[in-house]
Structure formats: C-alpha cells, structure tokens
Amino acid sequence: MDLKKTEAPVSTITIDKDLVDAPTDNIYEAISIIAKRANQINTEIKKELIEKLEEFATYNDSLEEVFENKEQIEVSKFYERLPKPHAIAVKEWLDGKIYYRDTNADS
C-alpha cells in the first residue's frame, strides 16, 4: 500500500449515508466492512513504521541517556501527518476498492 498516494482526507468530513450503504443496502454491514479494512490498514501502517524505526534503533545499557535522531523524528512526523486508517478505509469503500462477500448468501 502506497501511503503517499492516498487521496483520503486528513480531517473529518461528512459523507452521505446513502453513499456508504449503497453497495450492501445495510449501513451496519457497510460500517462493519469498513471497520475491518481500517484494522487491516492500521496493522500495515504500524508494521511499516516499526520496521522503519528499527533501522534507527540504538541499544544502550544506560537508561538515562536519550538520543534524538533527526531521521527517526522525521519518519515519525511523516506517519503522524498521514490520514487516519478509518479515513483511508472509507475512501477505499466509496471508490469500490474493497472486496467483500455475503457468506450467508453463498450457502
């Protein structure tokens, strides 16, 4: 997932309920699908952030020393400025990029 190219809004916006529940005809099911995708996105972002921060990790026996690494701070600031996972998930849902299926209808 390329986070730099996401078009999700950084701030909160109002979305028409009819647009959200149009694919499923059930607002609760739509929100459940969006929430599951937001959890997936959050896990991906967290994993990516931890991997990048591990590159800058310095291990010392002394707990009193604190090192400020400018690259580490920049990486952290980049991830803080990203849209929130739920905003990315809603954008993907409205764009029709989330695959889902009704398991009750399949059986």
Task: Give a yes or no: residue 4 inside a domain.
Answer: no
Task: Give a yes or no: residue 55 inside a domain.
Answer: yes
Task: Give a yes or no: residue 8 inside a domain.
Answer: no
What pLDDT is recorded for position 43?
96
Q: Give the span between the Cα atoms of 78 and 3, in whole angstroms.
A: 10
* Section 84-103 average pLDDT: 92
Place of tokens 């990048």: 52
Q: Residue type for 51, please?
A: E
Task: Give a yes or no: residue 105 inside a domain.
Answer: no
42-93 per-position pLDDT tens digit = 999 999 999 988 887 766 655 555 566 788 888 889 999 999 999 999 999 9
Task: Give a yes or no: residue 11 inside a domain.
Answer: no
What pLDDT is recorded for position 41?
95
Domain count, the chain: 1
Task: Give a yes or no: residue 2 inside a domain.
Answer: no
Task: Give a yes or no: residue 63 inside a domain.
Answer: yes
Domain of 84 in residue numbering reads as 16-98
The three state secondary structure string of 27-69 is HHHHHHHHHHHHHHHHHHHHHHHHHHHHCCCCCCCCCCCCCCC
Q: Residue type for 52, please?
A: K
Task: Give a yes or no: residue 5 inside a domain.
Answer: no
101 within 8 A of 24, measured Cβ to Cβ: no
Number of Cβ within a 10 Å radius of residue 34? 20
* Section 1-19 average pLDDT: 86
